[in-house]
Amino acid sequence: MRLLAGEEVEIPTFDFASGHKTFDGTKMKLNENEVLVVEGIHCLNDKLTDAIPRDKKFKIYISALTVLNIDYYNRISTTDTRIIRRIVRDYKYRNYSAKETIQRWKSIKAGEKKYIYPYQEEADAMFNTSIVYEHGVLKKYALPILNEISKDEPEYAEAKRLITLLNYFKPIEEDFIPESSILREFIGGSVFKY
């Protein structure tokens, strides 16, 4: 509320590698006619922003929404795309192994079911972030870390399934990926700061 009232407030930064937010003196103030962008799992829920009148909000649901059919029997679901993206990003930027991301996936899915899916249809716009060639780009990052999971670990079956899916694709070098592509959020080299 203080930020919306035009006050300068100290804002936290979240360190994904440590899993903690910190206050480092970073401050923010909204000037007249500036837009506040709120991002996260709870953002479609009006309870988070109930102090803001509905006509002053514009909600955007952003997700990989396209299923990719390989043939009549094999498909890559949106969930498969999202976990592969997450495995790569978590490894590069959050110090999580593929095994740890797979372990967390059930909790992530539960959070989506509770905090996103009930509200996604209330979005003013939906943005599909699926890119038809992304699996070829993600392959070179995902395969080595998925292969670190040994056969005697419970996460091996999921890792093997994802490896099988990724092996349908030829590798694509990221040199061809624009610096403004959402794919850069996962592989690095973006012009945007996350």
d(CA 185, CA 192): 8
pLDDT tens series, the chain, 194 aa: 788 888 999 988 888 777 788 899 999 999 888 888 888 888 888 888 888 888 889 999 999 999 999 888 888 999 999 999 999 999 999 999 999 999 999 999 998 899 899 999 989 999 999 999 999 999 999 999 999 999 999 999 999 999 999 999 999 999 989 999 999 999 999 998 76
* DSSP output for 39-83: -STTTTSTTTTTTS-GGG---EEEE----EE-SSS-EE-HHHHHH
The residue extents of the domains of the chain are 61-187
What confidence score (pLDDT) does residue 194 get? 64
d(CA 192, CA 178): 12
Alpha helices in the chain (DSSP H): 78-93, 98-115, 134-146, 156-166, 184-187
- 124 to 50, 120, 131: CA distances (angstroms): 16, 9, 22
99-124 pLDDT per residue, tens: 999 999 999 999 889 989 999 998 99
Long-range CB contacts (< 8 A, 24+ apart) of 187-190?
187/88, 187/92, 187/137, 187/138, 187/141, 188/92
